[in-house]
Chains A and B, each alone.
Chain A
């Protein structure tokens, strides 16, 4: 109260006229509505500000990242002589701010052995050098034109004879020997393993095309060289013969260099390079979403503010009429409304800008970790305030206010004094109602045949309250339509938030590894063997597992070893769920359908586990006795295969679960390297052979006719979930095209069954003990594995770190998503409140009348409830329908690429939306009825007075 008085006094000297005072009074008289409107203006403005500031800030972050990583150059070109560069400087003149040059010193050929790291060449480039004689007038001087590579160890070369090598060559010996290039000998060698101070000898030449094409190949270009493929007449590749298309020419004399540093390559596709490409999609999606939301915000804001004005004006129709009868001109009346808009804007817009900026800053602060994960380590996304954004947000809100005020202002100026004094309420019969009444002739046409109730379905169903509510809605439908639509949109946004968040975080991708924190992918030095017995890693699962378990900081009992292999199996006809397999084959043709033929012959994925893991699994599944013993032969059949395609999401169980055992087939005698067992062209599991002459594959004979010996493996259990202690999650296990069996390695070895299996890979999993230093544990494990000497390559993945990153990204995405939805919801709520509360307040007299002619309170409440329920239904049903449509759209578009996405209606969100709508309607109605004293008849009847 005292504040608005203050405002009034403060403004009085400038606008000491009756209309301004009139406006201020009416704003003060309806304090709640004024507050709701100002909050609406502020929210709309703040949300616009937040969207603009977010986009600007993100763009600034990305730009910063790109500049610091790739430099600020805008154009590059190759030149071969100094005259060209001189010409360029002359031609570009003042448009050339900065210029950096980098010399291509040629490429040296690496030996075939060394090519495995990153291709057959070692490209030699000079450091980029900036031409400091240029003016640097408008250039971005904060970053280098082309940044020098970043140094991992040592320093950059400073004088002739020094060289910095790519970091991946550290510890590698550059050996002599044949190269992948025909007729070219190795021209990059080192004495011993490379380290700081080592000497490398390079003879660099130019990469040129073998076909005589004159354009040289840049030494910095793709690491792999191009190969030609032989093709048949129709253009199909018939062989993988590798004929290089290029060679080295003009090889210089070998020269020795001292290694002074190891550097990272600068890379302009860092995101892709680091496997973070999917997060780019997130950024793109966010940008699109921001655009969609901005449009929604503007529409919602116009409807909210416009609504508030319309209501404010119609409430004051009589006042305007009175003013008009006292001699106010139309212009003066219009100005009254614009003054109101200006006052609301003067308070709402600055408030909104402040709220928007503060909220954006807060959101970026909370999500900093996620952004730096998505965009690269050194990139901080902070709030960037561009004056243009401020101007756009403020301007757009002001325009919204003006548009919103325009129609009410026009209406206010047209209120006739007579209408105002006659005080007929502002109900004009809708066209539908007029048509309805036109068809009625006699007085009794208004009633049902027995004359007991009004005509129509509504009265038949629920009597007078329903009839009255229905009639009111029919007449006032257009007024509430905008608010109902805004409510529907925000309900849809809220409901879609779940799937949207799933979709956005699904693109980040995360696999479930149960309780495991570390995944170690190990392979033996000789990786060509698929025979378990010959593989020192797979054949010593328990040995390696206990070595890993011995490392300090590894959680006790958390180590498991899994060797994945494939085997040929035979199943009884009644043991297979043929309908499920048909469904699978109908829905998806992944890798040629399910790997099982009608005779029951087919392939199985066998997860061979170490003893400890088998015991854990037996414990989880409740197995005991011999079945829990890892040395006695049995298996667990994982009976779930994902059968998701673009249209449907689902899974099947390939087995009926009745078989007591599975026959594992031994390999046929004398199998050559060119032969294998697989699904034949006729759909039967067959012995297949690569045909040298035709280059194709021929089916030798179906497996059923090979007379294969088999070993019967008892099935200990059928399962669709192997528990959190099993390192491979159900979703991963189900992503297959064949039967999956889990077996204890010890028993398989004991039964001599290893010969029946083809090993594909071996992995170990472990958990961190509480409080363990993750880095130390990882290096401890690496040391232990290196000590063994029989392990060729080991790759240790910190799953806990991946999970953290995944969570940070998910969190970031969700914070943005839910912030926007919350604010849009708030706007819709304010809109609904205004519409409902004001709509009811305007009808005070009608309510009083109804009660004074004998409408009971219960009936009255029922009528109001029905009107609100109608509103809620429109908002909810519309919103949920819209959400379902969007949800379905997402699903059809993305289900093929995201396996975690499912076509479920997010009922939790629907319930939340329902609760929000109910609370808002109840609050609005409660407020309006309280404010109007609609339930206190005498006061309501008195509300007559001006």
Chain B
């Protein structure tokens, strides 16, 4: 079953002579539970695509269907709710809120939604992420790898259908990279979450179920692992 359908997605920045076409008529579908790696040179439109799927940015034309629903039919307020419930975003630079501690950062989407924090899920995630004993530390008291694990925890806390990660290991050494990817893979397998990762790392790309290569805002190749 396709959980995600990207339909003739086009995004243009600027206008006139300075107009840049970041995405040019991109279409593909992603099945539920699939692990997709998106690769491409810098400026090929990878991040823009991820922002569209995550409901962070609106396309110039075309649309994205998640679970059969048009993401961009929502108002800005509804999009905010969409972001906190349906997707989990992980960035290269962690992007933690500096004044909140580890647990508060992880539970931010749940709290925004006004729902109760699932204690079992939280403690389980903390254990899995290796953050035990760090629950009440602020981000600046953590190492880069630890911060990225908090960011992943935040993305997984709501058990979203789709996890989107923008070069999640781009800022980490190889040992930490491997750990982070293992974590993401594990939740992808165990919880059946769909995982879309932008990466430059060939190892990561090779471990994915499917690799989509972008070039100048277009899908250059779409390869499934055998």
Using known A-B contacts A451-B119, A853-B83, determine if residue A446 contacts B51 with beta carbons closer than 8 Å.
no
Query: What's the least CB distance linking B76 to chain A, in Å?
Result: 6
A interface, size bucket: 35 or more
Structural contact, A454 and B138, CB atoms closer than 8 A: no
Structural contact, A852 and B104, CB atoms closer than 8 A: no
Give the residues in chain B near A269, CB-CB below 8 Å.
none
Using known A-B contacts A424-B140, A427-B138, determine if residue A856 contacts B101 with beta carbons closer than 8 Å.
no
Give the residues in chain B near A697, CB-CB below 8 Å.
none
Query: A100-137 vs B: 1/0 string, CB under 8 Å?
Result: 00000000000000000000000000000000000000
- B131 nearest CB neighbor, chain A only: A443
Structural contact, B136 and A463, CB atoms closer than 8 A: no
Structural contact, B56 and A941, CB atoms closer than 8 A: yes
Using known A-B contacts A427-B140, A443-B103, determine if residue A937 contacts B56 with beta carbons closer than 8 Å.
yes
Using known A-B contacts A437-B101, A454-B104, determine if residue A849 contacts B96 with beta carbons closer than 8 Å.
yes
- B76 nearest CB neighbor, chain A only: A857
A851 is an interface residue with CB less than 8 A from chain B: yes
- B96 nearest CB neighbor, chain A only: A849
Give the docked Cα–Cα distance between A450 and B80 (Å): 24
Give the residues in chain B near A472, CB-CB below 8 Å.
99
Query: B6-28 vs A: 1/0 string, CB under 8 Å?
Result: 00000000000000000000000
Give the docked Cα–Cα distance between A825 and B137 (Å): 41
Choose among A424, A849, A944 the residue that contacts B97 (Cβ–Cβ < 8 A).
A849
Structural contact, B99 and A475, CB atoms closer than 8 A: yes
- A444 nearest CB neighbor, chain B only: B119
Query: What's the least CB distance linking A658 to chain B, in Å?
Result: 66
Give the residues in chain A near B98, CB-CB below 8 Å.
424-425, 427, 475, 846
Give the docked Cα–Cα distance between A602 and B207 (Å): 110
Give the residues in chain A near B93, CB-CB below 8 Å.
423, 845, 944
Choose among B84, B97, B136 the residue that contacts A854 (Cβ–Cβ < 8 A).
B84
Structural contact, B56 and A854, CB atoms closer than 8 A: no
- B80 nearest CB neighbor, chain A only: A856
A6 is an interface residue with CB less than 8 A from chain B: no
Query: What's the least CB distance linking B147 to chain A, in Å?
Result: 8
Query: What's the least CB distance linking A431 to chain B, in Å?
Result: 13
B159 is an interface residue with CB less than 8 A from chain A: no
Choose among A446, A853, A855 the residue that contacts B103 (Cβ–Cβ < 8 A).
A446
Using known A-B contacts A853-B154, A944-B93, determine if residue A443 contacts B119 with beta carbons closer than 8 Å.
yes
B107 is an interface residue with CB less than 8 A from chain A: yes
Structural contact, B112 and A852, CB atoms closer than 8 A: no
Choose among A428, A433, A857, A938 the residue that contacts B56 (Cβ–Cβ < 8 A).
A938
Give the docked Cα–Cα distance between A425 and B95 (Å): 10
Give the docked Cα–Cα distance between A775 and B54 (Å): 87
Choose among A447, A453, A938 the residue that contacts B114 (Cβ–Cβ < 8 A).
A453
Structural contact, A855 and B135, CB atoms closer than 8 A: no
Using known A-B contacts A443-B126, A446-B136, determine if residue A464 contacts B111 with beta carbons closer than 8 Å.
yes
Using known A-B contacts A424-B139, A437-B136, A443-B103, determine if residue A453 contacts B111 with beta carbons closer than 8 Å.
yes
B2 is an interface residue with CB less than 8 A from chain A: no
Choose among B56, B96, B112, B154 the residue that contacts A859 (Cβ–Cβ < 8 A).
B112
B1 is an interface residue with CB less than 8 A from chain A: no
Give the residues in chain B near A447, CB-CB below 8 Å.
107, 117
Using known A-B contacts A447-B117, A850-B97, determine if residue A857 contacts B122 with beta carbons closer than 8 Å.
no
Cβ < 8 Å to B, chain A residues 448-466:
450-454, 463-464
Structural contact, B51 and A425, CB atoms closer than 8 A: no
Structural contact, B135 and A443, CB atoms closer than 8 A: yes
Query: What's the least CB distance linking A654 to chain B, in Å?
Result: 65
A47 is an interface residue with CB less than 8 A from chain B: no
- B52 nearest CB neighbor, chain A only: A938
Give the docked Cα–Cα distance between A499 and B210 (Å): 77
- A residues neighboring B (CB under 8 Å): 422-425, 427-429, 433, 437-438, 440, 442-447, 450-454, 463-464, 468, 471-472, 474-475, 845-846, 848-859, 937-938, 941, 944
26 A-B interface contacts by CB (under 8 A): A427-B99, A427-B139, A427-B140, A437-B138, A442-B135, A443-B103, A444-B122, A445-B135, A446-B101, A446-B103, A451-B116, A452-B111, A453-B111, A471-B100, A845-B93, A848-B95, A850-B97, A851-B80, A852-B89, A853-B83, A854-B113, A856-B112, A857-B76, A859-B112, A938-B56, A938-B57
- B residues neighboring A (CB under 8 Å): 48, 51, 54, 56-57, 76-77, 80-85, 89, 91, 93, 95-101, 103-104, 107-109, 111-119, 122-123, 126, 135-141, 144, 154
**Given contacts A427-B138, A854-B80, could you give 13 more A-B pairs where the C-beta distance is less than 8 Å?**
A437-B137, A443-B119, A446-B136, A451-B117, A452-B111, A475-B99, A845-B95, A846-B98, A849-B97, A856-B80, A938-B51, A938-B56, A941-B56
CB-based closest 4 A-B pairs: A854-B84, A856-B80, A427-B98, A437-B136
